[in-house]
Amino acid sequence: MKPIKNIAIVAHVDHGKTTLIDEIFKHSGVYRDVDQATDRVMDSGDLEKERGITITAKNCAVDWNDIKLNIVDTPGHADFGGEVERSLMMVDGILLLVDAAEGPLPQTRYVLQKALERNLKIAVMINKIDRQDERHEEVKGEVEDLILDLIDQVGLDDYDIDIPFYYGSGRDGYSSQDPSLREGSLSPLLDLFTGDYYPFPNLKAEGDFKFLITNLAYSSYLGTLMTGRIIEGKIEKNQQVQIFGREKVSKFKVGSIQVYQGLEQANVDTAYAGEIISISGFNDAEIGDTVAAMGIDTPLDRIEIEPPTVSISVSVNTSPIAGREGEYLTSRKLEEFLVEACRNNVALKYESTEDPKIFILKGRGELQLAIVFEEIRRKGFELMVSRPSVITKEVDGKLQEPFERVVVDIPEDSTGGVTEKMATRKGVMEAMAPYGSGRAKVEFIIPSRGLIGLRSEFLTLTRGEGLMSSYFIGYKDHLGKMLSRTNGALISDRKGKTTPYALFNLLSSGKQFVKPGEEVYEGMVIGEHTRQNDLNINVCREKHLTSVRTAGKDENVSLPPIKNRTLDWAIDWIDDDEWVEITPENIRIRKKILPANMRHVKR
């Protein structure tokens, strides 16, 4: 059996982790020919490919210098921090990727802190060194300062700060400790992985079998697949083992054992301490459960991660046209989906409410929650979700709320507008520094609720050129009431289909969300009012016939283009008295109370 090393590649979102792994596959011979190569092969999910981000951590393995390298690709977005935390439990070292122009950003700090808390070996690759605006010397200094700051914060007095720095381009497939090189291969990086710097797993090979579940998957053939690293001993196929759940201990026979080979998993009869494996044979496992040999009395410590900071109400679809565009989702089935989502992601929590049709889902951020709803939608079901709200708590009689540090990378001429917008959301500027050609990096401390609905406004203020990222820094005193959406809603006052004539004559009332011929109902939001109050309008009105007709006149009504209604946009836009109606075919916004005579209209 080959010796094993387990390494995670971590970075801020879009700093090149998944692209680097593509090139590692090519260089190490996982792809036998060029035709097999696929861009961002580790982002296997449809949503990951569409959004260009990694949502769930994934494992793969390559052979180099007669050593098996188990490599973990982790998400870079802050909302999926729970995935990063549990992935680090399977490895003995990390490679930190940092963009040669952008430098360390909020998630860089987050993943570094988690790695240092686990006392993992760290190496750094300054990636994308081929960028015209690269500044590798400054970035190296920023990373070194960050590492020293975090070592002091975590309290690691004896940590070895002799950290190797590599430079290269994951996209073009080269790396070196010489920043002046702009060609070569990834051999220096793979030699680092297999050399003396990263340790072999320091685990007990001779003890009784112990295994902590850090990921779950499902196979239609094998059932639930439990993934993690063997902490102690060995496991054999058909072996009788026990699993320590939250409330009870169960027994099962190991049905299969799979290890990683390249992108695939291969069945083996035996696996030893240090190996990352997937086993089957028990369908009710949860992330954090311990699987152990018979006779073991004490489980391993459960995975503990930072608590959720955002909650959102989830309901069965109660609109007048529910069930027409997808399968109607009952409250029992909806609860099953939420239970499954929480089983597969330790950062998610859910709870029921007094209304049997409504549940509360809690997570790290809007994006993480939106991904869950998008997955339910793509399975052909309908549901409704509310505006996200932050989770507050009371400490010593004072109400506290979560705060985040936000870092924006923006054109210098957008600084004033962005700062003003942050101030209206109770954000306070902490630092500002110009860099590159006409750009600035600005840091703010802001309540988490101030970030809800901010992203689209931020992109408008920066003409689509701004980058914004954040990370949770803890709870502080509540800052009082905050204005949410400034403008009211345009609301359909009846059921029917929208007409070009009605929409054209209502253009002065505000920005519209619907197209001609679209089905609407009373209480459905069809646009954003130009004023602060809500306005009930008739968007189904037909033009009265007259004796004077002009050929083609009605068909020539010119309406402005309607922006595509996405789930992320709708969750950002809605107010507290509204639902987002989600179906496989449409995203709609509606009032929680549909009849106009029963609804309080905002003034």
Q: How many percent of the chain have pLDDT more than 90?
A: 27
Question: 178-236, pLDDT tens digit by residue?
Answer: 888 888 888 999 899 898 999 888 777 778 899 888 887 777 788 888 888 888 888 99
CATH superfamily of 4-194: P-loop containing nucleotide triphosphate hydrolases (3.40.50.300)
Q: Which backbone phi and psi does 448 adopt, to 5 degrees?
A: -55, -35
**182-189: long-range pairs with CB below 8 Å, 24+:** 182/129, 182/130, 185/27, 186/23, 186/24, 186/27, 187/27, 189/24, 189/95, 189/125
301 exposed, middle or buried (CB, 10 Å; 0-12, 13-18, 19+)? Answer: exposed
**583 band by pLDDT with thresholds 50, 70 and 90:** very high
Amino acid present at 462 = T
pLDDT of residue 524: 94
What pLDDT is stored for residue 600 in this prediction? 66
Give pLDDT, residue 369.
Answer: 84
Higher-pLDDT residue of 476 and 546 is: 476
Query: Residue 37 above 60 pLDDT?
Result: no
Q: Point out the least confidently predicted range of 24-38, 69-83, 123-137, 448-462.
A: 24-38
- How many residues comprise the chain? 603
Residue 39 clears pLDDT 70, i.e. is over it: no
Helices (H) and strands (E) in the chain, counts: 12, 36
Of 403, 441, 415, which is closest to residue 142 (Cα–Cα)? 441
Residues 6+ apart with CB under 8 A from 56: 45, 48, 75, 80, 83, 215
In this prediction, residue 52 has a pLDDT band, given cuts at 50, 70 and 90, of very low
What integer pLDDT is reported at residue 555 of this predicted model? Answer: 56
The predicted model gives 365-383 an average pLDDT of 85
Domains 210-293 and 396-477 alike in fold? no
Residue 43 has pLDDT above 50, yes or no: no
Tokens of 100: 């040669």
Of 579, 597, 598, give the one whose Cα is nearest residue 589: 579
Any idea which fold 489-598 has?
Answer: OB fold (Dihydrolipoamide Acetyltransferase, E2P) (2.40.50)
User: Of the candidates 120, 121, 109, 123, which has an alpha carbon nearest to the alpha carbon of residue 153?
Assistant: 109
Stretch 153-167: mean pLDDT, rounded? 84
Confidence of residue 546 (pLDDT cuts 50, 70, 90): low
pLDDT for 453: 75
If one looks up domain 210-293 in CATH, what number appears? 2.40.30.10
Phi, psi of 514 (to 5 degrees): -115, 160
Instruction: Decide: helix, strand or coil at residue 512.
Output: strand
Q: What is the mean pLDDT of residues 576-584?
A: 92
CB of 277 within 8 A of CB of 306? no
pLDDT value at position 436?
67
List pLDDT tens digits, range 332-361.
Answer: 999 988 888 887 777 788 899 999 999 999
> What backbone torsions phi and psi does residue 582 show, to the nearest 5 degrees?
-115, 120
Are 543 and 501 a contacting pair, CB within 8 Å? yes
- pLDDT level of residue 56 (50, 70, 90 thresholds): very low
Q: What is the pLDDT of residue 89?
A: 82
Question: What confidence score (pLDDT) does residue 581 get?
Answer: 94
Helix (H) or strand (E) holding 25: helix 17-28
**Residue 58: its pLDDT value, please?**
57
Read off φ and ψ for residue 41, nearest 5 degrees.
-65, -25
At 499, phi and psi to the nearest 5?
A: -115, 150
480: nearest Cα among 426, 406, 420, 424:
426
Q: For residue 81, which of 7, 156, 13 has the smallest C-alpha distance?
A: 13
578: pLDDT strictly greater than 50: yes
Alpha carbon distance 540, 525 (integer Å): 14
Q: Is the pLDDT of residue 458 over 60?
A: yes
Number of Cβ within a 10 Å radius of residue 392: 15
| pLDDT band for position 495 (cuts 50, 70, 90) | very high
Contact 563, 522 (CB under 8 A): no
- Between these two residues, 22 and 402, which has the higher pLDDT value? 402
pLDDT level of residue 519 (50, 70, 90 thresholds): very high
Higher model confidence: residue 470 or residue 163?
163
What lies within 8 Å, CB to CB, of 13 at 6+ separation is 53, 75, 76, 77, 78, 107, 469
| The pLDDT of residue 550 | 53
Query: Mean pLDDT lowest for which of 122-131, 245-254, 364-373, 413-422?
Result: 364-373
Question: Is pLDDT above 60 for 78?
Answer: no
Q: What is the 3-state secondary structure (H, E, C) of 540-574?
A: CCCCCCCCCCCCCCHHHCCCCCCCCCCHHHHHHHC
Q: What is the pLDDT of residue 497?
A: 92
Round to the nearest angstrom and report the end-to-end CA distance of the chain.
Answer: 73
- 221 φ/ψ angles, rounded to the nearest 5 degrees: -95, -40
Q: What is the pLDDT of residues 285-306, one digit of tens each?
A: 888 889 999 988 889 888 776 7
In this prediction, residue 47 has a pLDDT band, given cuts at 50, 70 and 90, of very low
C-alpha span between 13 and 523 (Å, rounded): 39
Domain ranges, ordered by start, for the chain: 4-194, 210-293, 310-386, 396-477, 489-598
Average pLDDT, the chain: 83
pLDDT at 521 over 50: yes
Tokens 């089957």 correspond to 280
Instruction: Give the pLDDT confidence score for residue 562 in this predicted structure.
Output: 85
Contacts of 543 (CB under 8 A, 6+ apart): 499, 501, 554
CATH architecture of 310-386: 2-Layer Sandwich (3.30)
Give the confidence band of 38 by pLDDT, cuts at 50, 70, 90: very low
What is the arithmetic mean of pLDDT over 377-396?
90
CATH class of the domain comprising 396-477: alpha beta
**Closest C-alpha to 523, from 578, 586, 585, 587:** 578
Mean pLDDT throughout 88-117? 84
Q: Say which residue, 14 or 221, is predicted with more confidence.
A: 221
Contact 540, 499 (CB under 8 A): yes
CA distance 375 to 379: 7
Q: Is residue 53 predicted with pLDDT exceeding 60? A: no
pLDDT band at 159 (very low <50, low <70, confident <90, very high): confident
